[in-house]
Chains A and B, each alone.
Chain A
Amino acid sequence: MLTSFDISTSALVAQRTRLNAISSNIANMSTTRNERGEAEPYTPRYVTFQTDTNITSSGGGSGVKIGSVDLSTAEPNMKYEPGHPDANANGYVAYPNVDMTTEFVDALEASRSYEANVGVIEVSKNLVENTLRIIA
């Protein structure tokens, strides 16, 4: 019965990582230079989940883990700004292909999922506490 706590916690950790990736994407929406200062737009990161068979309960439930953190393969947005210091030869600046609406909805989903897993932990705690009442 206590392994259900592990399963919910693995989900909490995974959703938190996903939220970190989303907040990084939103923060870097307009980043046109990479860490070395070269004119390279920020590539959005996406997190994929994977079933974690290391954390299993007796009934067959299993936990979740981060499968991979992938860089997006979408083309960067090109905007025509000839005066921009990072404009290319044609006057276009490459902006990261981050759609704020999509990212925000993902963030909402991740936070709701986090709350749902915390609710599951509450239910598990309730179960064990009620089991103890057999004795009392």
Chain B
Amino acid sequence: MISPRYHREVPQRYRLEAGKCKNCGNVSFPPRLVCPKCKSKTFETVNLSREGKILTFTIIRVGPDKFSKETPYVVAIIELNDGVRLTAQVTDCDVDKVKIGDKVKLVFRKLQDEDLSGLHCYGYKAVVI
């Protein structure tokens, strides 16, 4: 039963809420308690940019149980326009045509189902623009 764990991550997964260090300006996604750059502990909430580009990616052809029926699918490390990096699937694409450097935007999609009677789990994926 994953409700509390899922619920905690909603601001990040749905709205891309991140923590910007008030001391050095470094943005942490997800937000955290200690700034990895300057070790300061005060942050303000910011929303990440929804557009970016692909730094590297892979095409998963053998997937974990939960995603086994969705293969092949692309997972990429994306650098958003504000400099923050994250990992996301690239959806609605021809897997063989994705390239490093492709521009993408983040969209709201269902990431997985807990199981047949559990929660639907939503979050961000990327589409090539």
- Do A and B interact with each other, yes or no? no
- Identify the B interface with A (CB < 8 A): none
- Identify the A interface with B (CB < 8 A): none
